Amino acid sequence: MDRASHISEEAGTSRAAPDLSRLLFEPNLRVHGLIDQTVVSNVLHDLKAVRDGGNDLYVEIDTPDGDADGARRIALEIKLFLKHSGRNGFVLGKNTVYSAGITVLAAFPKSSRFLCPRAVLLVHERRLEKELVLNGPIRSCLQIVREQLALLQTAERLENEGFEDLVEGSKISLEQLRDHALNNCYLMAERALELGLVADIAR
Using alpha carbons only, give the angle 83, 84, 89 rounded to the nearest 5 degrees. Answer: 55
Q: What pLDDT score does 11 carry?
A: 42
Q: How crowded is residue 190: how many other Cβ atoms within 10 Å of its Cβ?
A: 13
Domain 3-201: homologous superfamily in CATH: 2-enoyl-CoA Hydratase; Chain A, domain 1 (3.90.226.10)
Q: Are the C-beta atoms of 50 and 57 separated by less than 8 Å?
A: yes
What is the identity of the amino acid at 86? G
Cα–Cα distance between 74 and 72 in angstroms, integer?
5
Looking at beta carbons, which pairs linking 189-192 to residues 24 or more positions away fall under 8 Å?
189/93, 189/115, 189/116, 189/117, 189/118, 189/119, 189/120, 190/117, 192/115, 192/121
Distance CA 141, CA 43 (A): 42
**Statement: the pTM of the whole predicted model exceeds 0.75:** yes
Question: For position 15, what pLDDT does the model report?
Answer: 63
Can you give the pLDDT of all 203 residues of the chain as single tens digits?
Answer: 344 444 544 443 436 899 999 999 999 999 999 999 999 999 999 999 999 998 999 999 999 999 999 999 999 999 999 999 999 999 999 999 999 999 999 999 999 999 999 999 999 887 778 889 999 999 999 999 999 999 999 988 988 898 999 999 999 999 999 888 878 899 999 999 999 999 999 99
Q: Where are the domains of the chain?
A: 3-201
Cα–Cα dist 122/100, whole Å:
9
Strand partners of residue 31: 61
Which pLDDT does position 130 carry in this prediction? Answer: 83
